[in-house]
Amino acid sequence: MFRFLFISLVFSVLALVSCRNNPAKNQKDKVITVTILPQKYILSHLAGDKFRINVLIPEEANHETYEPTARQMIETGNSSAYFKVGHLDVEKSWLGKLSGSNPGLKIFNTSEGYNLMSGEAHEHNGHAHEGGTDPHIWLSVSGARCQADNILKALTLIDPGNTSYYQDNHLRFMASLDSLDKAIRNILVADKANCFMIYHPSLGYFARDYNLTQIPIEQEGKEPSPAYMKELIDIAREKKINTIFISSQFNKQNAVTIAGQLNARVEEFNPSSPDWSNNLISIARKIAGTGAMK
Ligand SMILES: [Zn+2]
């Protein structure tokens, strides 16, 4: 009798476990990990409800120095795929560990095929990311187009059954990027100034797309020396710079000091904002000096 009860108990527990496990396992399989929130913006437009999106770098964290937690590393390893930005230093440092412990993890580079700027070619900008590559493609419409193309390719590889769904979403998203690009051009066209200063140079591709010049305050990824600060103030005067960008995750003091010497505006923005398209519109308005206007 006891044996019978025990056996039926074991069977019902097994049945319960397998019922629970199947949907849970499928749910777990349907996760894609990305590095930053702007990638989530693009991916969610393309993937719709087909995947849950796991984001490694929180909105207020620094995208140059963030270290994922052990739990985040495990979640990434359990994902269907990992879509990296491509050239962020932090990705390089944690990807080795990640692929070492998850040899089967599919990793896609969302910057693949983009016309990247190298540190060498833009030496005057003082941009000094390791390997000389400017990683900030997500802060430009052209970069988002490239990321959307790469994401479409990746989605059709990992989930070929929904290819036409992803293709339709991609077409719609590309059309929305065309409108966004036009809106940004309309904001910038009225503006005479074509030069801005920024503490951490994350708007290089944005500047390239719209014929603007980005002058970084950061010197080789570090705080500028007093001599360089003096030089920057001279450059800013000469170029009649009236916008200096800072972001909350980076040092603000140097930008504030320069702005004080010049009577320039200090404009804050978040490179990791999840509200990606409005963030680009707001950057354009700040460069054009219409930042306070709606
Ligand atoms: Zn950066």
Q: How many angstroms is it from 127 CA to the middle of ligand 1? A: 10
Q: Tell me the whole-structure pTM to 2 decimals.
A: 0.85
Residues 6+ apart with CB under 8 A from 2: none
CA of 159 to the centre of ligand 1 (A): 32
Homologous superfamily of 20-112+126-181: Nitrogenase molybdenum iron protein domain (3.40.50.1980)
- Report d(CA 8, CA 273) in Å as an integer: 54
Distance, CA of 222 to CA of 70 (rounded, Å): 28
C-alpha 149/C-alpha 143 separation (Å) is: 10
Beta sheet of 213-216, edge-to-edge order: 213-216, 195-198, 243-246, 265-268
**Rounded (10°) angle between helices 141-158 and 37-47:** 50
CATH number corresponding to 192-288: 3.40.50.1980
Q: Specify the pLDDT at position 272.
A: 97
Mean pLDDT, contiguous 10-residue spans, the chain (294 residues)? 50 45 51 98 98 97 95 94 96 88 94 86 43 91 98 98 98 98 92 85 96 92 92 94 91 90 92 98 91 45
Q: What is the pLDDT of residue 123?
A: 40
User: Residue 26 Cα, ligand 1 centroid: separation in angstroms?
Assistant: 35
Question: Tokens for 142?
Answer: 């052209």
CATH 3.40.50.1980 domain extents, the chain: 20-112+126-181, 192-288
- φ, ψ of residue 243 to 5 degrees: the values are -125, 125
* Rounded distance from Cα 98 to ligand 1 centre (Å): 22
* Centroid of ligand 1 to alpha carbon of 58 (angstroms): 14
Give yes or no for a contact between 252 and 269, defined as CB atoms under 8 angstroms apart. Answer: no
| Residue 147 CB neighbours (<10 A) | 27
Give the chain's count of helices (H) and strands (E).
Answer: 10, 8
Buried b (16+ CB within 10 A) or exposed e, 1-40: eeeeeeeeeeeeeeeeeeeeeeeeeeeeeebbbbbbbbbb
